[in-house]
Amino acid sequence: MRQIHSSLTVLLVSNLEKSKAYYRDILGCEVTDWWVIRDGFTGLGIKLLQANSPIDVQPNRPAQGYTHPAPDVYCYVENCAALDELYTEFKEKGARFVIEPWIDENAGPWKEFIIADPDNYSIAFGGTNKNN
């Protein structure tokens, strides 16, 4: 019996209205008073909360062996064609890319890219054409 059907990320943000606009206008999310959602609660789901102070906003730092920040949110995408469509959509809407699309041949091959939101939270999107 499946007991957990989804999980959501909670992010403290420095400017709630600016963040809501970003997720709506750049990432194509449905925005409510409580959530930003794309493709339902089993897709991208984030709860944005207004931070008390800018110092409370703390995106992940680089992990050992990496030069870029570790993703704060990771979105698995159905396949590489869907990933390419998202990349084109986000690029056309002015998303800021931390890492352009790249392929890790040793991991599938696995293809991914990472964007940053207004508070520099890193959101990664990745997928493969293999059925794992």
Q: Domain containing 31: what range? A: 9-52+59-127
pLDDT in tens, 111-124: 999 999 999 999 99
The count of domains in the chain is 1
Per-residue pLDDT of the chain (132 residues; tens, 9 = 90+): 778 878 899 999 999 999 999 999 999 999 998 899 999 888 899 999 999 999 999 999 999 988 888 999 999 999 999 999 999 999 999 999 999 999 988 877 899 999 999 999 999 999 998 754
* Structural domain includes residue 76: yes
* Structural domain includes residue 19: yes
- Map residue 82 onto helix, strand or coil: helix
User: For position 132, what pLDDT does the model report?
Assistant: 46
Residue 31 host element (H or E): strand 30-31
CA 5 – CA 81 distance, rounded (Å): 25
CATH of the domain at 98: 3.10.180.10
| Nearest in space to 113 (alpha carbons), one of 74, 66, 58 | 74
